[in-house]
């Protein structure tokens, strides 16, 4: 088991754009395993490679209570989004302890490669649709706070900067 360091907003590396994975090989499988360990340890329901400073199109999600339903998405692409929107209270491992409402399409269809490199398509609604869109944003360098007002974002940024300075002082 290997835990990866999760970048914290407003780290500029969270805005890097992830590149497609050319081949699902042993290196990618190791990244996926380490990302799953990191997500379960946090704990979180999803993690994008960008959050652990790996800028390749890889996501892991597990919405189960027992942490035994890992979903892996490599090179994910949204192929359809509903016109209907839904608002959810979102959180992010890269924005610890802040939660706010974000409106997104209620249902989406997504195409990706699984851990064996095989293509699959999936239709998602509810928390899975929210989580997938939140993770896909990370791969594009976007953090959920960018949907909030400038005032809220500035406050969050300042509080997190202050907190990371305090943590540095403790070390
Ligand atoms: O653990 C997480 N919970 C969550 C709750 C509502 C909407 C999105 C999420 S994703 C988040 C983990 C994370 O930061 N993934 O990028
Ligand atoms: Ni996140």
pLDDT digits (tens, 9 = 90+) for 6-24: 999 999 999 999 999 999 9
* 31, pLDDT greater than 90: yes
What integer is the mean pLDDT of 93-99? 97
Query: What local confidence, expressed as pLDDT, does residue 39 receive?
Result: 98
Q: What is the CA radius of gyration of the chain?
A: 16
Query: What local confidence, expressed as pLDDT, does residue 45 receive?
Result: 98
Nearest to 14, CA basis, from 38, 58, 50: 50
Phi–psi pair at 19, nearest 5 degrees: -95, 150
Q: Which of 4, 18, 93 to mutate to test the pocket of ligand 1 (most atoms within 8 A of CB)?
A: 93
**Predicted TM-score (pTM) of this structure:** 0.97
Residue-averaged pLDDT of the chain: 97
Q: Which of 46, 52, 124 to mutate to test the pocket of ligand 1 (most atoms within 8 A of CB)?
A: 46
pLDDT digits (tens, 9 = 90+) for 32-44: 999 999 999 999 9
pLDDT > 90: what percent of the chain?
96
Cα–Cα dist 60/62, whole Å: 7
Order the strands of the 108-113 sheet from edge to edge: 46-48, 58-61, 71-81, 108-113, 119-124
- Cα of 135 from ligand 1 centre, angstroms: 8
> Does any ligand 1 atom lie closer than 6 A to the CB of residue 92?
yes
* 74, pLDDT greater than 90: yes
Query: What local confidence, expressed as pLDDT, does residue 68 receive?
Result: 98
What integer is the mean pLDDT of 53-81? 98
pLDDT digits (tens, 9 = 90+) for 120-135: 999 999 999 999 999 9
Cα–Cα dist 125/64, whole Å: 15
> Does any ligand 1 atom lie closer than 6 A to the CB of residue 44?
yes
- Cα of 141 from ligand 1 centre, angstroms: 15
> Does any ligand 1 atom lie closer than 6 A to the CB of residue 129?
no
Query: What local confidence, expressed as pLDDT, does residue 170 receive?
Result: 84
> Does any ligand 1 atom lie closer than 6 A to the CB of residue 135?
yes
* 171, pLDDT greater than 90: no
């Amino acid at each position: 088991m290997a835990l990866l360091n999760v970048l914290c907003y407003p780290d500029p590396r969270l805005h890097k754009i992830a590149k497609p994975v050319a081949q699902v090989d042993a290196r990618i499988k190791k990244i996926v395993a380490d990302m799953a360990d990191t997500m379960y340890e946090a704990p979180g329901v999803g993690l994008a490679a960008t959050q652990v400073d790996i800028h390749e199109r890889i996501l892991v999600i597990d919405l189960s209570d027992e942490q035994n339903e890992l979903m892996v998405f490599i090179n994910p692409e949204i192929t359809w989004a509903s016109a209907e929107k839904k608002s959810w209270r979102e959180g992010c491992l890269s924005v610890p302890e802040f939660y706010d409402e974000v409106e997104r399409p209620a249902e989406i269809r997504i195409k990706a490669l699984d851990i064996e490199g095989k293509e699959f398509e999936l239709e998602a609604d509810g928390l899975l649709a929210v989580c997938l869109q939140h993770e896909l944003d990370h791969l594009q360098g976007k953090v959920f706070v960018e949907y909030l007002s400038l005032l809220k974002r500035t406050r969050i940024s300042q509080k997190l900067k202050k907190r990371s300075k305090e943590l540095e002082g403790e070390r």
